[in-house]
Amino acid sequence: PTPPGVLWKQLCVSDQGSFFQSNSLHINMKAEYGHGIGRLALQFINKGEDVTISNIKTQVPADPSDGFRVRTTPLKPDTLEPAQQAIEYIQVECLRPFLQPPRFLVTFNVNGRDTKQLPMTLPCVLTKFIAPAAISAQQFLQFWQDMQSGGREAMVTSQAKVPYTQYEG
């Protein structure tokens, strides 16, 4: 299985792919973003040949002060027999710029015994919510000319505490 960090980075620049992989459980994700809202579909798949994954619960602990609002649908069914799958839908609304994407916690039992916890982060980075501005050629030209006008550049010169010859480059 591919390490979760590698999968997360791939999903930060893609809208679909694997989110988590183990010998028994795979979580795939598809996402679409528009108008400040991300819609995620998480597909839970039991890849084990003789494994039952039960009591699957997910949590997205989020507070609107974090910069986003999250809505989820319960995962049904919450028990997966071999080769069975279930889908959970998550909606993330961007309320303001944020640095830390939403946390995502999955807990489940394997064969009714071992309780596993998967603390993860949803790959809903801020850049997913950014949309290009629609402007005309005339508006762009005016903007470009305004950028070239004086007063937008500044230079500060100061005395170094240590001579630059002291450093090797």
Task: Write the CATH number for 77.
Answer: 2.60.40.1230
Indicate whether 161 belongs to any domain: no
pLDDT band at 14, cuts 50/70/90?
Answer: very high
Contact partners, residue 155, CB within 8 Å, separation at least 6: none
Give pLDDT tens digits for 95-136.
999 999 999 999 999 998 889 999 999 999 999 999 888 899
pLDDT band at 168, cuts 50/70/90?
Answer: low
At residue 146, the pLDDT reads: 83
User: Domain containing 39: what range?
Assistant: 4-129
Indicate whether 146 belongs to any domain: no
Measured CA to CA, the distance from residue 102 to residue 39 in angstroms comes to 13
Asked whether the bond before 3 is cis by omega within 30 degrees of 0, the reply is no
Give pLDDT tens digits for 43-54.
999 999 999 999
Out of 1-5, 118-122, 136-140, pick the least confident: 1-5
At residue 72, the pLDDT reads: 95
Indicate whether 167 belongs to any domain: no
Indicate whether 156 belongs to any domain: no
Measured CA to CA, the distance from residue 79 to residue 25 in angstroms comes to 12
Q: Which of 3, 57, 47 is nearest to 25 (CA)?
A: 47
Q: Is 61 helix (H, G, I), strand (E, B) or coil?
A: coil
Total count of domains within the chain: 1
For residue 154, pLDDT beyond 90: no
Indicate whether 50 belongs to any domain: yes
Tell me the percentage of the chain whose pLDDT exceeds 90.
Answer: 70
Beta strand spans in 1-160 (E): 16-21, 25-34, 37-46, 53-59, 68-72, 85-94, 103-110, 114-121
CA dihedral sign of residues 94, 106, 26, 73:
negative
Radius of gyration of the chain (CA): 23
Contact partners, residue 101, CB within 8 Å, separation at least 6: 121, 122, 123, 124, 125, 126
Contact partners, residue 83, CB within 8 Å, separation at least 6: 45, 46, 47
For residue 157, pLDDT beyond 90: no
